[in-house]
């Protein structure tokens, strides 16, 4: 079998449309990990993904009669774009069936390249079933996104390029895995020429179909597939690809959503390219491998497989990146309900920067706060221990999905019945390390804080919403006091959003 694929890879017709992508050193992450980390930049292909290679190579192998029938494929997006562009260049009619969950950027890109798009189902498997129906009904030729020898050979040209670009020692190559076409093509070529190089697959924990198959020594269909890494959200590894992977892939590493987001940030910091979640899988697995093995001074390669991501998803990526890098802890704590307790809580945190602070008054005895705290990797236990020495109850929510996805945005609610004299102010102040602590020092303990919301968004200015319990006779004093602080502020007590949801 390897000889067959080596010949196919060497003869693959990918460079009529695809380009040889650079192998760039990621300087910052290399320095941090004490290894040479190289990124294979498949995000720089004309369709911003490696999928163009396999799609075009398959199209190039079709007969004139097959091309005249038109082609169809089911795809989460990147194979769709590759096939659409290939069909346009060759003058072939293309129909793409895509899950309804596919990011708009991919759907629009496929349509812009002249292909007909059919949105069907929520997963790749549902889209695939519909594409097979179109094959039967319309006589279209199906071009599989991964489970096809010609597609695998097209993706295998990446392995060919890697060995040409890096002739020196390579410890391991980390490859994102969905249906397995990319890793199968790379693995069969690498292991034939350089068997000492490890080829390691990386999957999201939410769609680890290759790991499940390797563990069971047979193809396994997952009951449920998460779609955060939508480009690799496949329930079952391909039949042909698994035959290759079980013989040539050394191991499979799974990574969390937070770890993927942290790697998206790492790639951006080093390349200024925003990769899609699936595209960052390789680096996420590489980092996990280095931490596990404790290796230094090695050359490690991660395949940056694509950059097709919806812009609005970057909010979620940004929120989770620091957690994935273990540079932020999410905690809940009970503190005494009295003036100055916020300040005391912040002093307990020491010099650590607060990234988020949510609180709503509930009763006269104690307050429950939800806070994000900037930490160094491995420092979370130290932080929890320090808080535990001063507070009766502290909960670590850093790994709590419900807290991270929902509760952090829902903390608060209406003021309890009977609470009086609350006034609401919105502040802006220059954002820098320790800014929130300085703000609390200026507010001091003169009036009880009944509501507090702050989130460090990385902007030039921090924004805080504060509720203070100010007796009627002190209302004039509070305005004068806040003016002396020197920060921009606005009273929001009559704001309809506050009246509806918080008062």
Q: What is the DSSP string of 443-492?
A: HTTSSEEEEEEEE--SSSEEEEEEEEE--GGGHHHHHHHHHHH-SEEEE-
Sheet strand arrangement including 94-98: 116-119, 94-98, 71-74, 141-142
CA-angle at 309, arms to 303 and 311, nearest 5°: 140
Measured in whole angstroms, the distance separating CA 424 from the mean position of its chain's CA atoms is: 36
Q: Is 207 a catalytic residue?
A: no
Report yes or no: 195 and 278 within 8 Å, Cβ to Cβ. Answer: no
Query: Which residue out of 51, 58, 211, 287 is catalytically annotated?
Result: 51
Two tokens, residue 380: 């979370």
Two tokens, residue 191: 């292991």
The pairing of beta strand 36-41 with beta strand 299-304: parallel
Q: Is 221 a catalytic residue?
A: no
Q: Measure the CA–CA gap between 79 and 33, rounded to whole angstroms.
A: 33
Query: Which residue out of 49, 131, 204, 305 is catalytically annotated?
Result: 305
Q: Measure the CA–CA gap between 431 and 464, rounded to whole angstroms.
A: 11
User: Which residues touch 293 (CB under 8 Å, ≥6 apart)?
Assistant: none
Buried b (16+ CB within 10 A) or exposed e, 447-478: bbbbbbbbbbeeeeebbbbbbbbbeeebeeeb
Two tokens, residue 444: 């001091």
Q: CA torsion sign, 330 to 395 to 451 to 336?
A: negative
Two tokens, residue 258: 């937070």
SS3 349: coil
Active site residues: 51, 305
């Amino acid at each position: 079998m390897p000889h067959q694929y080596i010949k196919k890879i060497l003869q693959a017709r990918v460079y009529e449309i695809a380009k040889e992508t650079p192998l760039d050193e990621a300087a910052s992450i290399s320095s941090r990990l004490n290894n040479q980390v190289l990124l294979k930049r498949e995000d720089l292909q004309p369709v911003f993904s490696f999928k163009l290679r396999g799609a075009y190579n398959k199209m190039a192998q079709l007969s004139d009669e097959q091309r005249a029938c038109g082609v169809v494929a089911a795809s989460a997006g990147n194979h769709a774009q590759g096939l659409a562009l290939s069909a346009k260049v060759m003058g072939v009619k293309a129909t793409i069936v895509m899950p309804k969950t596919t990011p708009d950027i991919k759907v629009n890109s496929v349509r812009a390249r002249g292909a007909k798009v059919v949105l069907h189902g929520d997963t790749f498997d549902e889209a695939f079933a519909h594409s097979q129906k179109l094959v039967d009904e319309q006589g279209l030729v199906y071009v599989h996104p991964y489970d096809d020898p010609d597609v695998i050979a097209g993706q295998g040209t990446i392995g060919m390029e890697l060995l040409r670009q890096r002739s020196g020692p390579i410890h391991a190559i980390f490859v994102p895995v969905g249906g397995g076409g990319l890793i199968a093509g790379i693995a069969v070529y690498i292991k034939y020429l350089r068997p000492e190089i490890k080829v390691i697959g990386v999957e999201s924990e939410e769609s680890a179909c290759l790991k499940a198959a390797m563990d069971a020594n047979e193809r396994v269909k997952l009951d449920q597939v998460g779609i955060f890494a939508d480009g690799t959200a496949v329930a079952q590894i391909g039949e042909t690809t698994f035959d290759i992977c079980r013989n040539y892939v050394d191991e499979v590493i799974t990574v969390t959503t937070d770890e993927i987001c942290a790697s998206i940030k790492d790639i951006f910091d080093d390349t200024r390219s925003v990769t899609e979640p699936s595209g960052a899988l390789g680096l996420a697995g590489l980092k996990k491998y280095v931490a596990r093995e404790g290796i230094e001074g090695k050359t490690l390669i991660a395949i940056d497989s694509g950059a097709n991501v919806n812009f609005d998803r970057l909010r979620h990526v940004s929120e989770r990146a620091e957690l994935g890098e273990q540079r932020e802890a999410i905690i809940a704590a009970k503190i005494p309900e009295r003036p100055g307790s916020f300040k005391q809580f912040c002093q307990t945190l020491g010099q650590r920067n607060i990234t988020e602070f949510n609180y709503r008054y509930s009763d006269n005895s104690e307050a429950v706060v939800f806070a994000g705290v900037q930490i160094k990797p491995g420092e979370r236990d130290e932080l929890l221990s320090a808080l535990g020495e001063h507070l009766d109850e502290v909960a670590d929510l850093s790994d709590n999905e419900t807290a991270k996805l929902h509760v952090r945005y829902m903390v608060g609610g209406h003021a309890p019945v009977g609470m009086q004299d609350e006034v609401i102010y919105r502040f802006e102040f220059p954002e820098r390390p320790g800014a929130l602590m300085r703000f609390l020092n200026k507010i001091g303990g003169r009036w009880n804080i009944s509501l507090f919301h702050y989130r460090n968004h990385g902007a030039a200015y921090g924004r805080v919403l504060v509720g203070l319990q100010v007796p009627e006779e002190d209302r004039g004093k509070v305005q004068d006091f806040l003016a002396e602080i020197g920060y921009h502020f606005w009273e929001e007590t009559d704001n309809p959003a506050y009246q509806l949801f918080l008062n």
